[in-house]
Amino acid sequence: MKRTPRSRPTICVMPDRLKRSRRSTRPGQPVALAAAMRSMFPSSFVAARLCVVFVTLASGAGFASAQATDPVEALGYHQSSEGRSLVQAALKSANAVLSSSSSFRLKPSWSLKDRKARSPNDILVFNVATTAKPFVIQVPFQSCRCIFVQEAAFRKSVDRYARNSKKTSEIDPSELLAFMLLHEVGHQESGHPGFMDQESPDLNFDDNEIKARERAADEFAAKALVTASKDGGRVDAFLAAMKLEMALSKVSFNLSGLRIVDHFGGSTLCSKDLFADKGVSHPNFELRILVVNDIISGTATSRQLLTDFERCRLTGSR
């Protein structure tokens, strides 16, 4: 939308697809959300981005209350059989870790003949076919205990720092997906939905409730790994946790290596492009991995790496 100095962007516009499918959301809810977003976040751009999140989740509740037979089709998506092996491997690792600390279990949607018969603690994982606007992970409904994964989009998102190259060491993608799934279970444990936002040019060091929720979900996943790694009674939990912890250590090594090699000057000068958050819903990805690794290992080295990164963020925010 073309903006003039006095113009303000429209906030909380309901997408046509959601308007058609919305059942239980009250007619005045978008207006109320708009007012809330403007009061919480003076920046119109930030308010608009966050409001899309809340309207989508509110509309998702409407979908679920309508008791759609297939939550994937309710959003106009389609399930896919391609890439199931990767998702299945990730589910196995994540469930092994969860067995030491949580009653939640991740279940592949394609393995259940009768979804109504599932346990209240089962979280269905759907492998979704590529969409016009690809996503990695979505938790679309507030009242539907389910996770959507796009395997192709996931592989593309991790390829930069997980492939075997001159700059990076190879990481098993199923182990990275397993950690992401543990993160989403953290949202379920906390009683709030997750949201996978795409990175955007909106570089910032701002804090908000959504970012706090993401940090809490990361902490849940990290502590679940710590608990599983100390579980002497479950060999599968111990081995899965060890593999995931090693993968996360590699992620941190690869990310810092790519940043320093590709942007040596920016890394030295604490460039905002490298250390700021990219978008309004998630903290900086490298920072998140450093925090997770510090929770897991708690060593002087992990603390120093995190401190150095946070120092650059402080410098870049000035």
Q: What is the DSSP letter of 15?
A: P
Beta strands at 146-149 and 137-138: parallel, antiparallel or unpaired: antiparallel
Mean per-residue pLDDT for 114-130? Answer: 85
Which residues sit opposite 147 in a β-bridge?
125
- Indicate if the pLDDT at residue 39 is higher than 90: no
- Indicate if the pLDDT at residue 27 is higher than 90: no
Task: Give the whole-angstrom CA distance, residue 311 versus residue 54.
Answer: 32
Instruction: Report the phi/psi class of residue 279: left, alpha or beta, with left for phi > 0 and alpha for psi in -120 to 50.
Output: left
**pTM for the model:** 0.78
> What is the tens place of the pLDDT at every residue in 158-215?
999 999 899 999 999 999 999 999 999 999 888 875 555 555 668 999 999 989 999 9
Which two tokens mark 31? 């207006």
- What percent of the chain is modeled with pLDDT above 70? 74
Report the chain's mean pLDDT, rounded to a whole number: 81
> What is the tens place of the pLDDT at every residue in 242-254?
999 999 999 999 9
pLDDT of res. 202: 83
Contacts of 260 by beta carbon, 8 Å cutoff, 6+ apart: 267
pLDDT of res. 314: 93
**Cβ atoms of 143 and 105 closer than 8 Å:** no
- Indicate if the pLDDT at residue 55 is higher than 80: no
Half-sphere exposure (CA, 13 Å, Cβ side) for 283?
21
Q: What is the DSSP letter of 198?
A: P
**Cβ atoms of 200 and 142 closer than 8 Å:** no
Task: Give the whole-angstrom CA distance, residue 98 versus residue 79.
Answer: 25
Each domain of the chain, given as residue ranges in start order, spans: 16-67, 84-316
Task: Give the whole-angstrom CA distance, residue 249 versus residue 103.
Answer: 27
pLDDT confidence tier of residue 135, bands split at 50, 70 and 90? very high
pLDDT confidence tier of residue 143, bands split at 50, 70 and 90? low
Mean per-residue pLDDT for 49-73? Answer: 50
